[in-house]
Structure 1
Amino acid sequence: MLKEVGASGQISLGKKYAGQLFEVQTAADGTITLMPVKVVPAPLAAQEEPARYAAAAHEWSSQHATEIDQYNAWAEQREPYSQRVRRWRAEQQK
């Protein structure tokens, strides 16, 4: 089967291969081989990710505690956005 590479550098393999991952191997002579692959996440890495993000979020919130408290105090004194929109709409209808 012959396939032509388009101007954008892409090649279409057909719907049969849609969504699949391929490893691209390029040989010294210019030969290109596409090998279908299945990616299996490493179990240890998958367990570490949520903990790492939670630690980063906790560190950020600790570093910005003063700003967060100031924002929360400011937000408590403001009317919720949905109520401001309702009031604005009612004023527009008058």
Structure 2
Amino acid sequence: MLRYTLMRLGIFVGCLLVVWGAVYAGIFPRGLGSSNGLWILLLALVVSAPISWVALRRERDRASLHIVGRVDRMKANLEASRTQEDIADDAARAQSQVS
């Protein structure tokens, strides 16, 4: 998961540098008034999103499988805990009925 995040951040930073250079070279328009920095960030985000979607497909699938595995383990642990609680509750009720 960390690998995917770092790769995505790297693509964003690369796009940020390219967009920054393109804005200051006059290829892309400058923002309105003092919004130039925000304009560059938003434009870099818009450019980097589809690149990340295509370029990091395999890594995203790998991270997704890792997350699904962790969620399944947590569900199994919760179910085991719930079962143990049910057994303990049934034993306590049986004990109180005998007394």
Relative to the length of structure 1, the TM-score reads 0.31
Higher RCO (CA < 8 A, seq sep 6+): 2
- Structure showing greater Rg: 1
Q: What TM-score comes out, normalization by structure 2 length?
A: 0.30
